[in-house]
Amino acid sequence: MIDATSLWGLVLGRAEATPNALCVLDEAGRALDFKGFRNNALVCAAGLADRGIGRGTRVSWQLPTRIDSLVLCAALSRLGAIQNPILPIYREADVGFVTRELGSEWLIVPGVLRGFDHAAMAKAIARETPTLQVLDLSAGLPTGDADALAPMLAEADKVEETDDPLRWVLYSSGTTADPKGAKHSDGTLLAASAGFCERLQLASDDRIALVFPVTHIGGILWLINGLRVGCAQLVVEHFDPATTIPFLAENGVTQATAGTVFHQAYLREQRRQPEKPLFPELRTLPGGGAPKPPPLHFDIRREMGAPIVSGYGLTECPVLTLNSPDDPDEKLAHTEGRASPEGVLIRIVDVDERPVATGAEGEIRVRAPQLCHGYWNAELDAAAFDAAGFFRTGDLGSLDTEGFLRVTGRLKDVIIRKGENISAREVEDALFSHPKVAEVAVVGLPDAERGELCCAVVVTTAGGAPLGFEEMTRYLSDAGLMRQKIPERLEFVDALPRNPTGKVLKQALRGRYSG
C-alpha cells in the first residue's frame, strides 16, 4: 500500500515500488505496466504543457473509459491542472453549461464516439466561448519532450499553494436541474480511497473490472485504488456482455464491478453455464450508485460464490460507507455497510432536523474528510450544508445498532398518495422477489384525485409470461405491504432507462407515463 498526498504522488510511488507489474489492460490487448503508465503520462504532460496547460488551468475532458483517458488524467495531475471530467453522454446543452460556468480554458474530446461527433459539438461550444480551446484526440494523446518538461515542472513545484489545493470540479447529474460542480482536492479523493481499499481488502493481485465511466468520480477512485495497492485495471470502454464478460473471465477478474445492472448481467451469464464458474478468481462484486435488490446478493453468493459488497456515497462526498466481504449476508444484502474508517460522521434527522432514534428513517446528513469543499457556484452552498457543516444528501435512510446504513430512497422519491408517504424502494424490493420480475422501478405519477398514484414499471424475466395486475396485487399483499402502498398501475418495458453508472432515470419514466 502506498500513501501519497496527490494522485501524481501515487503514480510516482507505484512506478518506483512495482515498475513491472501490470497497471492497465484493455480489450484490444494494449497493456501498460506501472513504469510505462508513468512514462506515458510524462510524455503526454509535455505535449499538454506545449499547448500552455499548467498549474491551475481549467481543463474539461469528455472521454470514454480508455487507457489513454487514464494517462491523460495522470498527465493533468502532474501539471497541477484543475480537472473537470464530463460523462460522454452529455451533449451540447450540459457540456456548454458546465464549461461556461467553470470558465474552462480547454475542452478535450474523443472526436467521433459511438456515432456522435464530439469534436463538432466542442467547436460549436467554443464559437460561443472565445476563451475556450478544443483539443481533439482523434489522432491520439499529445506528446512532447518529457526531459525538457522537467525543469519547468521543478520550478512550478516551488510555487506556494494551499496544503490541499483545488484539483477537481466534478459535476453531478443534471437530470432535474442544472448540473452542480463539486470542488474536490486530491486529498478528498485520497480520503475516500483509503476507506475503499481497506473495506474491500484490495491486494496487489486483484484485477479490477473498470467498466465504470472514468469521467465519474467512481472511475477516478478506481484509478486511485489501483495505484495505491498496485493492482491491475481491466479497462472496458463500452460494457457489452457478449464481449466484456469473456474479456474479464480470460484475464482473471477478481473485483467484478460496478453495480446492480452489471451484476445482473454477470448472473445471467453464469446461469447459462451453471456447472462452470464464470469468474474462477472472483472475490467480490463491488457496487454502489444504484439500489441493489436484496435477493440479488443471495442469488450471486449461491451461484457465483462471492458477495456483493456495496457502499454509499455521492459526487459531493464519495464512499461514505462500505460493506466488507466478511460482513454477514443479511448486512450485505440489506445495507450499504458502515461508515468508512477515518472521520466519517453520519446523522439521520427528521423534517425538523432533529436526530431520529436508532433504526428510524430520516434524511442522511454527512460530514467527512472526503466531503467536497462546496460547489463551484458558491450560491448553492447555503442550501447544501446545515449549520453544523453536514451535507444534506437528500437521501433517506436509517442506521442500525451496529452502525450499518440502509438507504431507503430519496426525499424526492417518496410518493405522496392521499397524504400517505410511500417509499418507492420498499415496493421495488418487494416486487423484485417475484419470479416473473427481472427489473422494476416504482414512480409516482400525477393524479387529480390522489395527488400521486403509484406506478410499477417492470422488465419481465426472459422467456417468461408478464406479471398480471391482480397477480401483482395478491403477491404484494401476501408479502405484507399495506394496501395503500400497492401500485395502482403496472407498465412493462424491455429495459429500464439508466445512466452510465446504472442508476435508473426515473424522471424519464415519469415523463413517459404521465398525462
Domain limits, the chain: 7-145, 189-410, 418-513
pLDDT surpassing 90 at residue 176:
no
Question: Would you place residue 173 in the very low, low, confident or very high pLDDT band (cuts 50, 70, 90)?
Answer: low
CA distance 363 to 393: 7
Name the fold adopted by 189-410. Answer: Rossmann fold (3.40.50)
How many beta carbons lie within 10 A of that of residue 151, not counting itself?
9
Q: How confident is the model at residue 175 (pLDDT cuts 50, 70, 90)?
A: very low
CATH of 418-513, one of 3.30.300.30, 1.20.120.1200, 3.40.220.10, 3.40.50.300: 3.30.300.30
Q: In what order do the strands lie in the sheet with 405-410?
A: 345-349, 362-367, 391-399, 405-410
The yes-or-no verdict on residue 289 having pLDDT over 90 is no
Predicted local confidence at residue 483, as pLDDT: 87
Report the pLDDT averaged over residues 387-406: 95
Q: Do domains 7-145 and 418-513 have the same CATH topology?
A: no
> Which grid coordinates belong to 508?
424519464
Q: Residues of the chain with pLDDT > 70: what percent?
A: 98
Please give the distance of CA 233 from its chain centroid, rounded to a whole number: 16
Report the chain's mean pLDDT, rounded to a whole number.
93
* C-alpha span between 475 and 483 (Å, rounded): 11
CB of 168 closer than 8 Å to CB of 373: no
Multiple choice CATH, 7-145, 3.40.710.10, 3.90.209.20, 3.40.50.970, 3.40.50.980:
3.40.50.980
Give the residue-averaged pLDDT of 101-117: 97
420-423 and 437-447 strand pairing: unpaired
